[in-house]
Amino acid sequence: MEPKTAPGSVPSRRAELLTFLVLAFGVWPFVAVGVVGGFGLLVWIIQMIFGPPGPPAAPH
């Protein structure tokens, strides 16, 4: 199956390399930080509501 490009155009190796570099070093680091940060925020909010994890409190 051929890649989908505009009729009569062939993506050059340089264009593919530039696209890879922009994705690898420009976009994906921000996506990764956003996902990890969002998960951390979610855990923090859940712990504010339900309390931190640990053994149940000892009866007094």
- Residue 53's contacts (CB-CB under 8 Å, 6 or more residues apart) are 47
Instruction: Note the pLDDT tens digit of each residue in 38-60.
Output: 999 999 999 999 988 888 778 87
From CA 30, how far away is CA 38, in angstroms rounded? 12
From CA 39, how far away is CA 47, in angstroms rounded? 12
Give the mean pLDDT of the chain.
Answer: 87
Contact status, residue 11 vs residue 5, Cβ threshold 8 Å: yes
From CA 44, how far away is CA 49, in angstroms rounded? 9
From CA 53, how far away is CA 50, in angstroms rounded? 9
Instruction: Note the pLDDT tens digit of each residue in 6-21.
Output: 665 777 999 999 999 9
Q: What is the pTM of this model?
A: 0.63
